Amino acid sequence: MQDTINFIDLVALSRITPEATVERFGGLINSSFFDASNILGTLKQKGLVDFITSFPTQSVLTVTQDGKLLLDEAHQKSATPVDTLDMAVLAELSSGRRNLPDLASGVNVTPKDLALRLYKLNEQKFLSYELRNGSINMALTEKGFLQVKDGSGVQNVAQAAAAMQESIQGNAAPMQSQQVPKMPQMPQMPQQPAAPKTDAELKELEAKIVSAKRMKSIAMFVIIVIVVVIVALLYLTGRI
């Protein structure tokens, strides 16, 4: 049940004060009585709040021990430095995923982990949110936008980029050490006899000329293939 806790649950839980009542809960979360009742029922089902309905007096709303532990965990998490997962959440928000279902589909973590990260990023002023009528919309602050653009302070992201660069350079090094295959030498055209005297000599000369032309065509084809292979290798390694 704890893993199903989402950001709306955490925000609603954080709005509960010692003077909070069931009847006034909707005003605390900017929601109608119907939407507030659904959220409150979810919080009670997950064991985060408790209340006893009383009439005609108002029903006092209290946070359970599990609810207090969740709030303590959220406060502790909000004091930690920004890491790779936080950057992934900010990047998804930057791409236009403003509501919770869209954001959850872009970041493949449990609802509770996502809720703790969003709470942390809000506490550190990287994002802002609006809870209204049972739904929540989020947006990057200027600080969050700049964090996404330059990635400052995220050591894990920098290390991942450095490792990727080293991998690319490592793959390119063996290719650089390989010698470019030498071009095959063009076969020399046989010298034509000054003055053939017989039909046999003429036929032999024609045969040599045809053979030389064939060898030349083959050599040109081999040269073209080698050039294409070299260009492809340079393109794949980012040299061109």
Q: Are residues 223 and 147 in the same domain?
A: no
Flag whether pLDDT at 140 surpasses 90.
yes
Q: Are residues 13 and 77 in the same domain?
A: yes
Flag whether pLDDT at 14 surpasses 50.
yes
Q: Are residues 180 and 148 in the same domain?
A: no
Give the pLDDT mean for 5-31: 95
The per-residue pLDDT for 191 is 55
How many domains would you assign to the chain? Answer: 2
Average pLDDT of the chain, as a whole number: 82
Domain of 92, in residue numbers: 1-152
User: Which pLDDT band holds residue 180 (cuts at 50, 70, 90)?
Assistant: very low
Winning range, highest mean pLDDT, from 67-81, 164-178, 215-229: 67-81
Q: What is the pTM of this model?
A: 0.62
Residue 160 lies in a domain: no
Is residue 158 helix, strand or coil?
helix
Give the pLDDT mean for 103-120: 95
Q: Are residues 90 and 135 in the same domain?
A: yes
The per-residue pLDDT for 197 is 52
